[in-house]
């Protein structure tokens, strides 16, 4: 995510100082697509919000792990599963 200052600097370098996209990319260390996006749109800030949170990799074994944990609760400390 690029800040407002970076977006302003990209626009200033291009429109005021007349620098090419390639020069801006090299100077500011941003991608060419980012520079093009900033110059083509009137947006002052870019943000990304994830619509769907992916399930963790543990999801497939969740039921089995919940069963093991539930079985561990009633046991004395010396008989609990530790690993």
Cβ neighbours of residue 47 under 8 Å, at least 6 residues apart?
Answer: 1
- Separation between Cα atoms, residue 10 and residue 56, nearest integer Å: 38
How far is residue 2's CA from residue 30's CA, in Å, rounded to a whole number? 9
- In Å, the largest CA–CA distance within the chain is 75
Calpha distance 59→75 (Å, rounded): 26
Tell me the pLDDT tens digit for each residue of 22-81. 999 999 999 999 999 999 988 888 888 888 888 778 878 888 888 888 888 888 888 777
4-28 pLDDT, tens digit each: 899 999 999 999 999 999 999 999 9
pTM of the model: 0.56
């Amino acid at each position: 995510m690029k800040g407002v200052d970076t977006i302003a600097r990209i626009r200033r370098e291009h429109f005021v100082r007349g620098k090419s996209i390639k020069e801006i990319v090299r100077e500011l260390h941003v991608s060419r697509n980012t520079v093009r996006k900033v110059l083509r749109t009137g947006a002052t800030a870019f943000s990304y919000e994830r619509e769907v949170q992916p399930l963790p990799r543990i999801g497939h074994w969740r039921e089995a792990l919940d069963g093991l944990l539930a079985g561990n609760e009633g046991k004395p400390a010396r008989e609990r599963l530790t690993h």
